[in-house]
C-alpha cells in the first residue's frame, strides 16, 4: 500500500468556497448531487488538473457550469476523479453526481444504515465514499445540504448547521435544507435521516443567545437520554467559564446510533454517538458508563472549538485536536468529580494502553510522520499521550500563561487548518519560553525512563537528587535526542510536613524539576532531617521512574504526601513491586514471601474514613495482570502472574476479612444517583465485596449481593466477583442465566454479559467465547457486540487469551479475517490486542507468530489490517 508522509504536504491546486449537496435517500440507490464552486489557486499552472478523492464510487454525471463535460476531458475511477482543461482564472462550478448504497455499506464509513436510520461517519476519509471531493482537512468550505426522503421511514432529516427550510413533496416524500455558515472540512460533514425519538432542552449562552439542544435516540429510549443532556449543558457552561468559549450555532444536536465504529463523532452542530455513550438508566448502566457518557459528551462538545473552529492541516496533526480535546475533557471531569480520583484513573489507563503501545511494534510519535492507513492512528498515543503533552505544557507554563497561550491560539487560528508548530508557537509567545526541546514530545516515540538517585548528607543537612534520562529505540527511530521532562516533586520530612526550600541552580521552579540534559543534580540545603523524595507527583510527565526507594519510604509517601495522586502512586508502586517479584517466584515454582506489609497498608487505607471512598476503592484495586506483565517486560508467563496475583488477593482478603465484610455491606443512602460521591461509595463496596468473597471461599455473599442488587453497578460488580473468583460454581452459572433472561431485549446491557464471560480466567474460556459467537442472537456485524466479546477476551483476559495451546490467538485470527471482509476498521482495532506478543515466553510467542502469519497470508486483506499485521511482524 501507499505510504503517506508528513513532509510531502502541499496545498490543493484549486480552492473550494462552497458546496451544495442534495441527497435523495434510498437504501440501495441514494443519489448525491454535489455542486462545488472552485477557483484555481494563485500561482498554480494553467494546465493543472483537478484531482478529487473517491472510494468505491461510480460517477453518474459531471458538469462544468451546468454543461456536461466532454468524457475526453475527465477520468473517473472508483477512487479518483481527474478533470482537465478547467478555467484558468475565473471561478467555476463543478457538479458531480454519484449513486451509493447505504444499506450494503458494512464498513460504517461514509453514508450507511443502522437500525433503519441513515447516518454518516466521515472522519477520517469517509466523505469520499459519498461523493468525489477534496477529502482532506485543509479544504474548508461552506456547506448547504438538502435531503429528500420518504416521510414514513425518515421522520427527521438532519445535517450540520441551522435548518433553513423543510416541506412536503409528492409520493409521500419530504425534504429539509440545512445551512452551516462555518467553513469546515469534509470530515465534519454529517447527515442523519430516520424515525427516532427526541428529547429537547435549551441553553442560554454567556452572551444571552438561546441554543436549542436536541438528542435523538431509538424510540422508547428517550428516558435514558437525560443524563447525556445534563452533561451537555454542564459542558457548554464549563467551556464558557474556563476558556471563555461560547457555542456558535442556534442548535446543537446529538444522534445516538447502535452501529458505530468508535465512541462518537464531533460533526459540526450534529454529533453522532455510539448509543452506548448516550443511553443510561440505573437499571442498565453502571457508574462507569455514566462517567464515560459525561466525558464523551464533553469531549465531542469541546471539539467545537478545538477541532472544528480550528481544525488540522493534515492527518499527521491529528493530536492537535485529539490530544488537546482529551486534555480538555480530562480537566472538565476533574472539575465535575474528584480531581485526584480522576487523575488516578487516567494514569491507570495511560499505563495500560499507551505504555504498551510505546514499547511495542506499533509505537509511533504523538505526531506520526508516515502512515499507510490513517484510521490506525486513532491511538492511545495520539489521544492519551497527546493529552499528557498538553498537560506538561500547562505544568511548565503555569495556569496563567497556559491560558494566555490558549487565548492566543483561538484568536490567531480561528478558522484555520493548523499545525502543531502553530499551536506551540502560541505558548512560546505567550510565555516567552523556548519550547523547541519540548517539541520533541511530538516527534519522538517511546516512553522515556528517568532513573533517580538521592544522597542525604546528615552532617551537612543537604539532600541531593540526581536524575538521568534515557529513551529506547522505537521502530524507525534508532537514536533519540534528549527530552525536556518536567517532574513535579516534594520532599517529605519525617513528621509528614513538606520541606519548603528550593534546590540550587535554576532548573527547578514551583515544585518542578526541569530535566533537559542527560543527567542533572539538584541540591537542597538546610534540610532539617532526612526527607523522602516524592517524584513525578500527579504523573506530571508520562515516563517510567527507576528508583530504589525502600518500602518504608513508599509507605511514608502513601501516608503523608499532600498530593492524593502521589499517595496512590506510592501504594501502587509498592503493590507492583511485590507482584512482579511474586510472579517471578511463582514461575520458578518457588514459595512466595509474605504480603503482610502490603496487606496492612491496603487494609489501613480501605478503612481510613478520612479518605474519600472512591480513593480507597482505587487503593484496593491491585495492579491488573496486564500491568504486572508490562512491568516484567519480557519472557512473560500469564499463568504465573495470575497465580501470584491471586495469592496476594487471598492474603489481603484474609488479613482484612472483617473490614471487607463491613465495607462490602455499605451502600449509599436513598435512591440511585450517578453522582461521583455515590459512585465512589459503590466502588468501595464493590472492591470490598471482591475481597470478602475471597475470604469467604464461596459464592454465597456475592450471590446474595447479586440477588439484592437494585442497579446495574452493583449487579455487574457481583457478577464479576462470581465469574472471576468462582467460575465453576453452580451459583455463577445461575447468575449468568438470570442476567441473560432479564436483559434479553437490551443489547447494551447484554454487552456486559458477553464481556464478563469473555474475561473469565482459564484455559477453556476460548471455547465459551466460540459458543457465544455462534449463538443465534449474537450480532456479528455490530461493533459493540464484537468489542464486548472478542475485544473483552483478547484485551481483557490475559490467561484465557494467552492459553499456551494458542487457541486464543487462533480464535482472534479467524475473527479478524472474517470481520475484515465487512468492517476493516473494527478488524484492525481488534488485532492490536496482540501488539505485545514479542514479550511473551517462547512457546506462546511462537503460537502468536503463527496466528499473525495466518492473518498476513489471508486473501484480500484490507489496508487497515495489513498495515497492523505487517508492523507487528516486522
* Among positions 20, 123, 281, 384, the unique one binding ligand B3K when judged by CB under 6 A: 123
CB of 731 to ligand B3K, least distance (A): 41
Rule CB under 6 A: choose which of 128, 299, 556, 560 binds ligand B3K. 299
CB closer to Zn ion out of 346 and 807: 346
β-pairing, 251-257 with 270-274? parallel
Does the protein bind ligand B3K through residue 124 (CB under 6 A)? yes
Q: Which stretch binds ligand B3K (CB under 6 A): 130-138, 156-164, 262-270, 360-368?
A: 262-270
Quick count: other Cβ atoms within 10 Å of Cβ 700?
13
Catalytic residue among 300, 322, 612, 625: 300
Contact region for ligand B3K (CB under 6 A) — 71-79, 201-209, 263-271, 678-686?
263-271
Q: Which residue lies nearer to ligand B3K by CB, 177 or 304?
A: 304
Contact between 266 and ligand B3K per CB under 6 A: yes
Of 625 and 864, which CB lies nearer to ligand B3K in the complex structure?
A: 864
- What is 739-802 written as a DSSP string? HHHHTTT-HHHHHHHHHHHHT--STTHHHHHHHHHHSTT--TT-HHHHIIIIIHHHHH-HHHHT
Q: Site residues for Zn ion, window 318-347 (CB under 5 A)?
A: 322, 325
Do 49 and 82 touch, CB atoms closer than 8 A? yes
For the CB of residue 145, give the shortest distance to ligand B3K in the complex, in Å. 20
**Closer to Zn ion by Cβ: residue 321 or 849:** 321
The CA-CA-CA angle for residues 556, 558, 563, to 5°, reads 110
Least separation in angstroms between CB 193 and ligand B3K: 21
Q: Is position 265 an interface residue for ligand B3K (rule: CB under 6 A)?
A: yes
Q: For 103-161, where are the E strands, in sequence order?
A: 110-114, 117-121, 141-150, 156-159
DSSP secondary structure string for all residues of 402-465: HHHHHHHHHHHHTT-EE-HHHHHHHHHHHHT---TTTTHHHH--S--EEEEEEEEETTTTEEEE
Among residues 281, 300, 561, 678, the one that binds ligand B3K under rule CB under 6 A? 300
Kindly state the cell numbers that stand for 486.
518536567
Report what 262 binds from Zn ion, ligand B3K, none; CB cut-off 5-8 Å by kind: ligand B3K
Q: Which residue, 366 or 772, is less far from ligand B3K as judged by CB? A: 366
CB of 124 to ligand B3K, least distance (A): 5
**Least Cβ distance, residue 188 to ligand B3K (angstroms):** 9
Q: How far is the CB of 383 from ligand B3K (least distance, A)?
A: 7
Q: Does 262 bind ligand B3K (CB under 6 A)?
A: yes
Q: How many residues bind Zn ion (CB under 5 A)?
A: 2
- Residue 334 or 592 with smaller CB distance to Zn ion: 334
What residues pair up with 835 in beta bridges, in sequence order? none
Which of 55, 281, 322, 637 binds ligand B3K (CB under 6 A)? It is 322
Q: Pseudo-torsion of CA 598, 601, 606, 609, nearest 10°?
A: 180
Residue 442 CB, nearest approach to ligand B3K (Å): 18
Q: Is 678 in the site for ligand B3K (CB under 6 A)?
A: no
Complex with ligand B3K: residue 300 or 553, whichever CB lies closer: 300
501 exposed, middle or buried (CB, 10 Å; 0-12, 13-18, 19+)? exposed
- How far CA 127 is from CA of 73, 123, 238, 318, 791, in Å, comes to 24, 8, 32, 17, 28
Q: How near is the Cβ of 326 to Zn ion at its closest, in Å?
A: 7
Contact segment (CB under 6 A) with ligand B3K among 260-268, 398-406, 486-494, 761-769 equals: 260-268
- With CB cut-offs between 5 and 8 Å by kind, which of Zn ion, ligand B3K, none does residue 306 bind? none
Tell me which stretch binds ligand B3K (CB under 6 A): 297-305, 454-462, 652-660, 857-865. 297-305
Can you tell me the distance from the alpha carbon of 5 to that of 46, in angstroms, rounded to the nearest whole number? Answer: 27
Q: Which residues pair with 205 in a beta bridge?
A: none
Partner touching 343 among ligand B3K, Zn ion, none, CB below 5 to 8 Å by kind? none
Asked if residues 137 and 313 have their Cβ atoms less than 8 Å apart, the reply is: yes
Choices 94-102, 257-265, 591-599, 680-688 (CB under 6 A): range interacting with ligand B3K: 257-265
- The residue (of 713 and 862) whose beta carbon lies closer to ligand B3K is 862
**Beta strands 92-100 and 59-64: pairing type?**
antiparallel
Give least dist CB 299 to ligand B3K, A.
5
CB–CB of 269/252 below 8 Å? yes
681 binds, among Zn ion, ligand B3K, none (CB under 5 to 8 A by kind): none
Does 256 sit near ligand B3K (CB under 6 A)?
A: no
Provide, rounded to whole angstroms, the least separation between the CB of residue 598 and ligand B3K. Answer: 38
Q: Is 421 a catalytic residue?
A: no
Q: Which of 92, 378, 410, 499 binds ligand B3K (CB under 6 A)?
A: 378
Q: Does 563 bind ligand B3K (CB under 6 A)?
A: no
With a CB cutoff of 8 Å and minimum separation 6, the contacts of 74 are: 62, 81, 82, 83, 84
Binding ligand B3K (rule: CB under 6 A), the pick from 30, 375, 583, 862 is 375
Q: Tell me the CA end-to-end span of the chain in Å, nearest whole number.
A: 15
The closest residue (CB) to ligand B3K is 123
- Rounded least distance, CB 113 to ligand B3K, Å: 19
Nearer to ligand B3K, 143 or 277 (CB): 277
Under the binding rule (CB under 6 A), the answer on residue 281 touching ligand B3K is no
Question: Contact, 181 vs 171, CB < 8 A?
Answer: no
Q: What DSSP string runs through 229-297?
A: HHHHHHHHHHHHHHH-----SSEEEEEEES--SSSEE--TTEEEEEGGGT---TTT--HHHHHHHHHHH
In terms of CB distance, is 761 or 824 closer to ligand B3K?
824
Least Å from the CB of residue 336 to ligand B3K: 18
Tell me how far CA of residue 126 lies from CA of 118, 438, 752, in angstroms.
Answer: 14, 34, 30
Smaller CB separation from Zn ion, 188 or 790: 188
Find out whether 466 and 452 touch, Cβ atoms under 8 Å.
Answer: yes
Instruction: Check: CB of residue 96 under 8 Å from CB of residue 36.
Output: yes
Does 328 bind ligand B3K (CB under 6 A)? Our answer is no
Residue 353 is classified by DSSP as: I
Binding string to Zn ion for residues 303 to 322, with x set by CB under 5 A, is what?
A: -------------------x
Please tell me what DSSP assigns to residue 220.
Answer: T
Judged by CB under 6 A, how many residues of this single chain contact ligand B3K? 12
Q: Is 182 helix (H, G, I), strand (E, B) or coil?
A: strand
Query: From ligand B3K, Zn ion, none, which one binds at residue 123 (CB under 5 to 8 Å depending on kind)?
Result: ligand B3K
Q: How many angstroms separate the CA atoms of 623 and 629, rounded?
A: 10
Q: Which of 289, 470, 441 is nearest to 367 (CA)?
A: 441
Query: How many Å separate Cα 810 from the centre of its chain?
Result: 27
CA-based angle 595:841:761, to the nearest 5? 60
Rounded Cα distance between 304 and 300, Å, is 7
Distance CA 431, CA 610 (A): 39
What minimum distance in Å lies between the beta carbon of 342 and ligand B3K? 19
525 and 461 Cβ atoms separated by less than 8 Å: yes
Q: Which does 375 bind (CB under 5 to 8 A by kind): Zn ion, ligand B3K, none?
A: ligand B3K
Beta strand pairing status for 74-77 and 117-121? unpaired
- Active-site annotation, residues: 300
- What is the binding site for ligand B3K (CB under 6 A)? 123-124, 262, 264-266, 299-300, 303, 322, 375, 378
- What is the binding site for Zn ion (CB under 5 A)? 322, 325
Amino acid at each position: 500500500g501507499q505510504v503517506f508522509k508528513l513532509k510531502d504536504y502541499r496545498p490543493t491546486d484549486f480552492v473550494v468556497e462552497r458546496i451544495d449537496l442534495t441527497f435523495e435517500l434510498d437504501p440501495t440507490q441514494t443519489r448525491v448531487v454535489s455542486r462545488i464552486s472552485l477557483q484555481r489557486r494563485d500561482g498554480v499552472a494553467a494546465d493543472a488538473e483537478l484531482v478529487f478523492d473517491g472510494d468505491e464510487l461510480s460517477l453518474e454525471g459531471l458538469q462544468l457550469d451546468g454543461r456536461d463535460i466532454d468524457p475526453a476531458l475527465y477520468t473517473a475511477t472508483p477512487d479518483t476523479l481527474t478533470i482537465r482543461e478547467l478555467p484558468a482564472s475565473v471561478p467555476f462550478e463543478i457538479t458531480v453526481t454519484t449513486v451509493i448504497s447505504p444499506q450494503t455499506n458494512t464498513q460504517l464509513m461514509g453514508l450507511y444504515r443502522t437500525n433503519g436510520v441513515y447516518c454518516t461517519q466521515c472522519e477520517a476519509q469517509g466523505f469520499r465514499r459519498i461523493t468525489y471531493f477534496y477529502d482532506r482537512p485543509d479544504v474548508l468550505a461552506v456547506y448547504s445540504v438538502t435531503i429528500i426522503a420518504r416521510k414514513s421511514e425518515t421522520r427527521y432529516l438532519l445535517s450540520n448547521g441551522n435548518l433553513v427550510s423543510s416541506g412536503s413533496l409528492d409520493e409521500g416524500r419530504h425534504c429539509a435544507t440545512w445551512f452551516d455558515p462555518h467553513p469546515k472540512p469534509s470530515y465534519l460533514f454529517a447527515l442523519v435521516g430516520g424515525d427516532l425519538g427526541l428529547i429537547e432542552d435549551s441553553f442560554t449562552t454567556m452572551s444571552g443567545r438561546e441554543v436549542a439542544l436536541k438528542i435523538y435516540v431509538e424510540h422508547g429510549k428517550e428516558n435514558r437520554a437525560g443524563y447525556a443532556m445534563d452533561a451537555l449543558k454542564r459542558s457548554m457552561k464549563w467551556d464558557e467559564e474556563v476558556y471563555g468559549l461560547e457555542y456558535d450555532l442556534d442548535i446543537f444536536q446529538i444522534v445516538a446510533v447502535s452501529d458505530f465504529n468508535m465512541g462518537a463523532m464531533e460533526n459540526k452542530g450534529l454529533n453522532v454517538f455510539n448509543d452506548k455513550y448516550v443511553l443510561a438508566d440505573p437499571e442498565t448502566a453502571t457508574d462507569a458508563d455514566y462517567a464515560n457518557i459525561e466525558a464523551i459528551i464533553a469531549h465531542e462538545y469541546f471539539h467545537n472549538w478545538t477541532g472544528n473552529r480550528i481544525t488540522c492541516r493534515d492527518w499527521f496533526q491529528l493530536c492537535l485536536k485529539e490530544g488537546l480535546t482529551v486534555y480538555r475533557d480530562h480537566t472538565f471531569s476533574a472539575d465535575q468529580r474528584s480531581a485526584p480520583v480522576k487523575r488516578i484513573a487516567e494514569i491507570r489507563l495511560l499505563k495500560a494502553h499507551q505504555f504498551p503501545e510505546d514499547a511495542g511494534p506499533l509505537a509511533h510519535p504523538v505526531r506520526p510522520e508516515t502512515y499507510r492507513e490513517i484510521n490506525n492512528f486513532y491511538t492511545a498515543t495520539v489521544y492519551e499521550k497527546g493529552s499528557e503533552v498538553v498537560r506538561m505544557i500547562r505544568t511548565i507554563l503555569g495556569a496563567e500563561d497556559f491560558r494566555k497561550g490558549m487565548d492566543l491560539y483561538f484568536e490567531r487560528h480561528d478558522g484555520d487548518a493548523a499545525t502543531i508548530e502553530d499551536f506551540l508557537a502560541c505558548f512560546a509567545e505567550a510565555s516567552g519560553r523556548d519550547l523547541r526541546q519540548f517539541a520533541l514530545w511530538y516527534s519522538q516515540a517511546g516512553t522515556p525512563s528517568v532513573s533517580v538517585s538521592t544522597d542525604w548528607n546528615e552532617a551537612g543537612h543537604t539532600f541531593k537528587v540526581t536524575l538521568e534520562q534515557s529513551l529506547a529505540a522505537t521502530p524507525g527511530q534508532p537514536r533519540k535526542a534528549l527530552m525536556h521532562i518536567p517532574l513535579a516533586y516534594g520532599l517529605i520530612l519525617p513528621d509528614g510536613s513538606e520541606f519548603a526550600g528550593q534546590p540550587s541552580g535554576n532548573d527547578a521552579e514551583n515544585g518542578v524539576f526541569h530535566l533537559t540534559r542527560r543527567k542533572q543534580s539538584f541540591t537542597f540545603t538546610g534540610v532539617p532531617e532526612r526527607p523522602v523524595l516524592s517524584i513525578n507527583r500527579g504523573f506530571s510527565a508520562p515516563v517510567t521512574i527507576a528508583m530504589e526507594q525502600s518500602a518504608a519510604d513508599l509507605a511514608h509517601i502513601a501516608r503523608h504526601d499532600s498530593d492524593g495522586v502521589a499517595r496512590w502512586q506510592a501504594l501502587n508502586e509498592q503493590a507492583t513491586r511485590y507482584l512482579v517479584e511474586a510472579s517471578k517466584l511463582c514461575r520458578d515454582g518457588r514459595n512466595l514471601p509474605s504480603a503482610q506489609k502490603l496487606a496492612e497498608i491496603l487494609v489501613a487505607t480501605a478503612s481510613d474514613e478520612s479518605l474519600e471512598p472512591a480513593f480507597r476503592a482505587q487503593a484496593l484495586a491491585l495492579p491488573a495482570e496486564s500491568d504486572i506483565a508490562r512491568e516484567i517486560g519480557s519472557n512473560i508467563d500469564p499463568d504465573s502472574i495470575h497465580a501470584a496475583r491471586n495469592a496476594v488477593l487471598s492474603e489481603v482478603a484474609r488479613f482484612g476479612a472483617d473490614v471487607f465484610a463491613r465495607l462490602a455491606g455499605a451502600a449509599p443512602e436513598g435512591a440511585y444517583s450517578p453522582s461521583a460521591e455515590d459512585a465512589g461509595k459503590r466502588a468501595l463496596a464493590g472492591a470490598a465485596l471482591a475481597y470478602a468473597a475471597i475470604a469467604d471461599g464461596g459464592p454465597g455473599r456475592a450471590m446474595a449481593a447479586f440477588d439484592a442488587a437494585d442497579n446495574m453497578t452493583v449487579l455487574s460488580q457481583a457478577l464479576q466477583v462470581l465469574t472471576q473468583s468462582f467460575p465453576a460454581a453452580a451459583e455463577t452459572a445461575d447468575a449468568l442465566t438470570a442476567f441473560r433472561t432479564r436483559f434479553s431485549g437490551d443489547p447494551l446491557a447484554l454487552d456486559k454479559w458477553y464481556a464478563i464471560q469473555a474475561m473469565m480466567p482459564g484455559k477453556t474460556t476460548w471455547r465459551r467465547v466460540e459458543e457465544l459467537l455462534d449463538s443465534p442472537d449474537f450480532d456479528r456485524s455490530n461493533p459493540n457486540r464484537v468489542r464486548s466479546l472478542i475485544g473483552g477476551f483478547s484485551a481483557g483476559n490475559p490467561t484465557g487469551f494467552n492459553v499456551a495451546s494458542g487457541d486464543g490467538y487462533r480464535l482472534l485470527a479467524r475473527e479478524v479475517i472474517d470481520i475484515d471482509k465487512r468492517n476493516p476498521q473494527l478488524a484492525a482495532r481488534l488485532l492490536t490486542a496482540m501488539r505485545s506478543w514479542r514479550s511473551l515466553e517462547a512457546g506462546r510467542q511462537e503460537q502468536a507468530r503463527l496466528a499473525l502469519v495466518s492473518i498476513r497470508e489471508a486473501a484480500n486483506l484490507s489496508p487497515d489490517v495489513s498495515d497492523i499485521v505487517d508492523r507487528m511482524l516486522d
